[in-house]
Structure 1
Amino acid sequence: MPGSALERGRGEHILIAEDDPGAGRVLRLLLEQTGYRVTLAADGETALRILDEQGAPDLLLLDWMLPGVSGLEICHSARSRWDALRLPILMVTAKTDPESVYAAFDAGASDYVGKPFRGAELRARIGAHLRTRRLWEERERMEGHLRERDKLFTLGLLAGGVAHDLNNPLAVISAHAQVLKRRLPEGEAREQVDGILGSVDRCTRIVAELLNFARRHPAERGPVDVAMVVRETLGMRERQISTSGIDLRVEVDDGLSPIHADGHQLQQVFLNVIVNAEHALAQGGRTLRVRTVRVEEPVPSVVVEFWNDGPPIPPDVLPHIFDPLFTTKQEEGTGLGLFICRRIVREHGGWLDVRSDAEGTAFAVRLPMGGI
């Protein structure tokens, strides 16, 4: 049907502009059998509309002789918006004279296939251009990772400098506030000083996180009893958990073999995850379950799981919770806690994963048992 577009298949997306119904069916069948996702436009105007509405496909296959807007005009228009690495363009046409070939490449075509074409040749040419495009995408991802790494390195230097500069004035404020508090009688003024001290404590915690983010030092590792570290960490939060009305369920296997790790770093990871669970339970739910289990695949490991039945993490937030400086705790969070936790676990050769749904949220710390 003139002016229509049909899309089928899966995989990489190829947009075909072909006005001959028979040729269009052959092209679509040929490419869908290879696993590509195909959109077929019956004329040039439809092809341009699809490009405007959907953006660039993975490859554009153009017949030169289209009614209304020609394939050459589409090629000119597409190339003005996307370069040859982002969008390979193949011209398929019976116009095989040298002048037409020159005109196609001058318009920005990546390749040129004459009619009648051989299916194997067309698939090979398309495959070659898509491989080049995939390499370009991989290069873009690698450059993005390098840019992010440079940004984090610079951020670490800045964070370390700022944190060190803040420690001295915070200590002075805290000391003066404590002296003032001792001189004041019970009442509103003393409560205001308590507010100052509370804010100083919060700033001190933030400074500590910034310093930890900036500091990259080798872990001091040795045999670590994971069950003991879990119990000691829970002991640090026992009062807060109890006064918050949280139902704590501990299912820790004390017979687990020691692992080679830095116990202090693991305690930092466990403590951060537990505090996050407390914050979630403050918004709803009441149960925090901490359990350990040994797993054998893909390598023998200890898994420590922290599950709570608080509100689930929103789907748009979940992919970003380990990103540096990402936080939903506007008044308290620095956005570094979970980022540092994942870094510590990875440096131990393990994984830190999360799943969250209507039944609750679970953080799983998987630590390999080898190395002792």
Structure 2
Amino acid sequence: MSEDFPVPSVRLDEPRGEHILIAEDDPAAARILRQILQQIGYRVTVAEDGAQALRALDEGPPDLLLLDWMLPGISGLEICHQARERWDPLSLPILMVTAKTDPESVYAAFDAGASDYVAKPFRGAELRARIAAHLRTKRMVEERRRMEDHLRERDRLSTLGLLTSGVAHDLNNPLAVISAHAQILMRRAPDEGTSGQLREILDAVERCRRIAGDLLGFARRHPVEREPLDLGEVVRATLELRRRDMELHGLRTTVSIPGALPRVIADRHQMQQVFLNIVVNAEQALAGGGGRFDVAVETDAAREAVTVRFTNDGPPIPASALPHIFDPFFTTKPEDEGTGLGLAIGRRIVQEHGGEITVTSDAAGTTFTVRLPVEAMAVAGD
């Protein structure tokens, strides 16, 4: 191989644990196919007849279907027809394996929706190569879809950021005027009733200012100062900021932080913003009724990442809301308690640090998990 074209360390056609469903009624042929595919790393399920193959498809499509034409009960051709009504060839490649090699049969197989056609007796090397080619194409299509989804999301958030930034700036000027006049009128208020009404106006102005601040925080890319951080120290500092409020809310807090954590490369203030938002959300979820709030910091065995878990035993997040919990402006709180930007900002910060933030919620409680890599990451916006 020329030095200009080095061999990649990972081949694109190497098996990656994909699931292959074999529909084959001949036990000997099924056993050989299973052995060939399992030896090189595929997960294999065998269906002995057409009805069993359809049931397996109903349970969830495999990455590839290896389909014998002559199946008892329901033929491979009919299974191919039914599968194509639900999945396109890029979502579910179907390889027809059969002794029928006449042109009419080959045409019928492709007309039914087969992606490829392998004649019996087959050669193991050819079969492996055809399977690898179809799975490689499937992976490339899926990766392209993921990239397109990511680009659409970035474009949506960029547009949203421009709009929210303009709205927030435009709001601040009239809010300042309203606040100034309300304060002047309070000094001249003839009675307590009027003073109370003016205080309500000032409270509303302050809420609008907080909303405008959240909008700017979501839209703005702040200069970051990355440095080696002990996330355990950041967590302790964050909890100390909220200690009095948590006590007032009756939260029973436990904290587990090991003594020697690998440092991550991160912006201290941004990480504190992420943690603070999660803590405040927990306080609001448990407000009035007390409850348990557990915080645990840990690293994996290879010390390649640091994970922070925040768990509360409050009411679970509704299942319908869970997929949208990090969406901008989405909130399960009452109208006057949140803007729906805190978790969206937090997700953006964590992703810009090369990490991930996830949430799980059920009757036992809700857990937010923040995972950051130990190795240095590129500065956001580079």
Assess same fold via TM > 0.5: yes
Gaps of 5+ in 1: 1-9
CA distance in 2, matches of 1:293, 1:180: 55
My pick for the range that moved more, 14-23 or 198-207, is: 14-23
1:197-346 matches, within 5 Å, as 197-219=202-224, 237=242, 240-241=245-246, 243-246=248-251, 264-282=269-287, 284-285=289-290, 298=303, 309-311=312-314, 314=317, 316=319, 321-331=325-335, 332-345=337-350
- Once residues 226 and 47 of structure 1 are traced to their aligned partners in structure 2, the CA distance between those partners, rounded to angstroms, is 50
Residue among 144, 147, 151 paired with 2:149: 144
Give how far 1:40 is off. 0.6
Moved more, 28-37 or 130-139: 28-37
User: Is 171-180 or 202-211 further displaced after alignment?
Assistant: 171-180
Deviates more, 1:133-142 or 1:337-346: 337-346
Instruction: Please tell me whether the aligned partners of residues 11 and 37 of structure 1 are also in contact (alpha carbons under 8 angstroms).
Output: no
Task: Calculate the aligned-residue CA RMSD, in Å.
Answer: 4.6
2:49 to 42, 51, 73: 42
Which amino acid in 2 is paired with 1:40?
A
Amino acid at match of 2:156: K
Measured in 2, the distance between the counterparts of 1:110 and 1:72 equals: 12
Q: Distance in 2 between matches of 1:57 and 1:221?
A: 43
Give how far 1:77 is off: 3.9
Contact preservation (8 Å) 2:249, 2:289: no
Going from structure 1 to structure 2, the CA distance change for 1:80 and 1:177 (only over 3 Å counts) comes to same
Amino acid of the residue matched to residue 203 of structure 1? C
Name whichever of 336-345 and 229-238 sits farther off: 229-238
> C-alpha distance in 2, partners of 1:13/1:360?
32
Q: Is the 8 A contact 1:246 1:288 kept in 2?
A: yes
Post-superposition shift, 1:146? 1.3
**What secondary structure sits across from 2:20 in the alignment?**
strand
Alpha-carbon distance in structure 2 between the residues aligned to 1:297 and 1:271:
28
Structure 1 counterpart of 2:19, which letter?
H
Retained in 2: the 8 A contact 1:63–1:92? yes
Following superposition, the deviation at residue 208 of structure 1 comes to 0.8
Provide the secondary structure at the position in 2 that maps to 1:90: strand
Contact 1:32-1:38 at 8 Å conserved across structures? no
Which AA in structure 2 matches 1:167? N
1:91–1:246 CA distance, 2 compared to 1 (3 A): closer
Aligned mate of 2:20, from 14, 18, 23: 14
Q: Which residue of 1 aligns with 2:5?
A: none
Whole-angstrom CA distance in 2 between matches of 1:369 and 1:74: 49
- The verdict on how the C-alpha distance between 1:279 and 1:133 changes in structure 2, with shifts beyond 3 A counting, is same
Distance in 1 between residues matched to 2:115 and 2:232, nearest whole Å: 61
Corresponding residue to 2:161 among 134, 153, 156: 156
* Distance verdict in 2 for CA 1:310–1:30, change over 3 Å: same
Paired amino acid for 2:173: N
Deviations 1:163-206 (A, max 9, x none): 2232233334434444454415224x544443443333222212
Q: Is contact 1:300-1:370 (8 Å) kept?
A: no
Asked if the contact 1:281/1:308 (under 8 Å) is kept, the reply is no
Mapping of residues 17-28 of structure 1, within 5 Å: 17-28=23-34
| Cα-to-partner distance string for 1:36-87 (whole Å, 9 max, x where unaligned) | 23141513x5545654x34543222222234564333433443354332111
Q: Which amino acid aligns with 1:311?
A: G
Whether the 8 Å CA contact 2:25–2:47 is kept in 1: the answer is: no
Deviation string 1:303-352 (CA, Å, 9 cap, x unpaired) is 8x685654275595667644444432242223321332343355456776
CA distance in 2, matches of 1:251, 1:321: 26
Q: Which amino acid is the alignment partner of residue 35 of structure 1?
A: Y
Q: Distance in 2 between matches of 1:14 and 1:223?
A: 45
User: Hey, what's the Cα distance between the residues in 2 that align with 1:335 and 1:205?
Assistant: 12
**Number of corresponding residues:** 357
Post-superposition CA distance 1:3-51 (Å, at most 9, x none)? xxxxxxx9533333334455445445554555323141513x5545654
Question: Following the alignment from structure 2 to structure 1, what is the Cα–Cα distance between the partners of residues 97 and 229?
Answer: 66
Deviation at 1:88, TM superposition (A): 1.0
For the residues of structure 2 that align with 1:48 and 1:229, how far apart are their CA atoms? 53
Shift of 1:250: 8.6
Correspondence for 1:174: 179
Deviation of the 1:299 alpha carbon: 6.4
**C-alpha contact (below 8 Å) 1:58/1:87 kept by paired residues:** yes
Aligned to 1:185: 191
Superposition TM-score, scaled by structure 2 size = 0.70
- Residue correspondence of structure 1 range 85-100 to structure 2 within 5 A: 85-100=90-105
Question: What SS does structure 2 have at the residue aligned with 1:279?
Answer: helix
Q: Could you report, residue by residue, the CA deviation over 1:85-139 in whole angstroms, capped at 9, with x for unpaired residues?
A: 1111111111112332233234332211112223443333223322221222222
Aligned mates of 2:197, 2:315 — CA distance in 1: 36
Q: SS in structure 2 opposite 1:274?
A: helix
